Amino acid sequence: MTQTIPAPFPALRLRRTRATGWSRALHRENILTPADLIWPLFVTEGAGVEEPIPSLPGVSRWSVDGIVARAKEAVAQGIPVLALFPNTQAERRSEDGAEALNPDNLMCRAIRAIKDACGDDIGVLTDVALDPYTSHGQDGLIDDAGYVLNDATVDVLVGQSLNQAAAGADIIAPSDMMDGRIGTIRAALEAENHHNVQIMSYAAKYASAFYGPFRDAVGSRGLLKGNKKTYQMDPANAEEALREVAVDLAEGADSVMVKPGLPYLDIAIRVKQQFGVPVFAYQVSGEYAMIEAAVAAGAADRDTMVLETLLAFKRAGCSGVLTYHALHAARLMNA
């Protein structure tokens, strides 16, 4: 849309509406609230366990009881959804990621515990991919050459999705980037009467350098053989992202995600403009770590940087943001 200036200077002074706080508030185009946040949390074995993650300062893995405590904090601060990621023990990892199908795995225990404690006061979003469960760190099953097999992986992802839905997951979030998985998962959920379980598709997930601390958190960095470029997207591509989103929406996704976040705001706004659907972005571990590094170096103020970066997602058209700063941001907004 072409904008025209209705009047010349000095009749029009664009600074006029910025002169006072009340006027800036009145003319503000986007507003950030705790309801815009999804808080990613890492689950580990044990009881009363907190394991700080060195590459993610201020972020820890929590045992299930600790996850429940975080859920109650989120409810109190108005955060509507938690996103769960398990740190599966080495002895439970395998070539085929079979632990993903265990109804008593870490993810399922955490889902049930949150729902028992908080009910529908908070939503639970669960990651669907095999990298937390495989001994090789890839998101799917591999052949002898290490290539990730698409259709065989989708079969396992369907079972993983049903396992999580049966435990009480509210949103299934496939992050694997296999072709055809959204339609197959949606059909399976419908067949098992999980009609109201949402699918938030990681539709535009890029093969990014910003994921390192996350892989530390779920214990897959040292295990990963090769890279994920045969299924995650090339950072150079934008049109391909629109094709991925179109396919996932056609297959039954309720919402879509762009990952990473800040380096890909151009993708988020294009998806919103073209499709007009709920778009979420993941402010990933590397983005979080960069903010914390800037704060530690005295180069930035944490509070203002956190809120400014999160507001950027809203300005780009995102309905919400997955961020490790969720609790801190919510507290700032509620103060």
Domain enclosing residue 234, as ranges: 31-334
> Mean pLDDT throughout 231-244?
98
For residue 25, is it within any domain? no
> Mean pLDDT throughout 294-319?
97
The pLDDT of residue 297: 98
Element containing residue 101 per DSSP (H, E) = none
The pLDDT of residue 76: 98
* Identity at 144, one-letter amino acid code: D
- How far apart CA 149 and CA 174 sit, in angstroms, is 16
Percent of the chain with pLDDT over 90: 94
Look at residue 158 and tell me whether its pLDDT is greater than 80: yes
Look at residue 215 and tell me whether its pLDDT is greater than 80: yes
Q: How many domains does the chain have?
A: 1
For residue 193, is it within any domain? yes
pLDDT in tens, 250-265: 999 999 999 999 999 9
In a 3-state reduction of DSSP, which class is residue 184? helix
pLDDT in tens, 180-212: 999 999 999 999 999 999 999 999 999 999 999
Question: Could you write out the three-class secondary structure of 109-148?
Answer: HHHHHHHHHHHHHCEEEEEECCCCCECCCCCCCECCCCCE
For residue 24, is it within any domain? no
Length of the chain counted residue by residue? 335
Active site residues: 205, 259
- How far apart CA 201 and CA 302 sit, in angstroms, is 30
Is residue 308 part of an annotated ligand binding site?
no
Look at residue 151 and tell me whether its pLDDT is greater than 70: yes
- Residue 61 β-bridge partners: 42, 51
Look at residue 219 and tell me whether its pLDDT is greater than 90: no
Question: pTM for the full model?
Answer: 0.96
For residue 206, is it within any domain? yes
> Mean pLDDT throughout 24-37?
97
* Neighbouring residues of 222: CB distance < 8 A, sequence distance ≥ 6: none
- How far apart CA 137 and CA 218 sit, in angstroms, is 10
For residue 98, is it within any domain? yes
> Mean pLDDT throughout 113-128?
98
The pLDDT of residue 3: 72
pLDDT in tens, 81-109: 999 999 999 999 999 999 999 999 999 99
- How far is C-alpha 28 from the chain's CA centre? 27
* CATH code assigned at 258: 3.20.20.70
The pLDDT of residue 224: 86
Query: Would you state the structure tokens that stand for residue 293, as one six-digit string?
Result: 């590094």
For residue 6, is it within any domain? no
> Mean pLDDT throughout 319-334?
98
> Mean pLDDT throughout 173-185?
98
For residue 11, is it within any domain? no
**Sorting pLDDT into bands at 50, 70 and 90, what band is 1?**
low
Beta strands at 60-62 and 171-174: parallel, antiparallel or unpaired: unpaired
**3 against 57, higher pLDDT:** 57
Look at residue 220 and tell me whether its pLDDT is greater than 70: yes
Q: What is Dmax (Cα atoms) for the chain? A: 72
Q: How far apart are the two ends of the chain, measured CA to CA in Å?
A: 38
If you average pLDDT over every residue of the chain, what do you get? Answer: 96
> Mean pLDDT throughout 155-166?
98
Look at residue 6 and tell me whether its pLDDT is greater than 90: no
* Neighbouring residues of 129: CB distance < 8 A, sequence distance ≥ 6: 139, 140, 157, 174, 175, 176
Query: Exposure of 91 by Cβ count < 10 A (0-12 exposed, 13-18 middle, 19+ buried)?
Result: exposed
Find out whether 152 and 111 touch, Cβ atoms under 8 Å. Answer: no
Query: Would you state the structure tokens that stand for residue 89, as one six-digit string?
Result: 């023990």
For residue 1, is it within any domain? no
Question: Could you write out the three-class secondary structure of 29-58?
Answer: CCCCCHHHEEEEEEECCCCCCEEECCCCCC
Element containing residue 243 per DSSP (H, E) = helix 239-251
The pLDDT of residue 325: 98
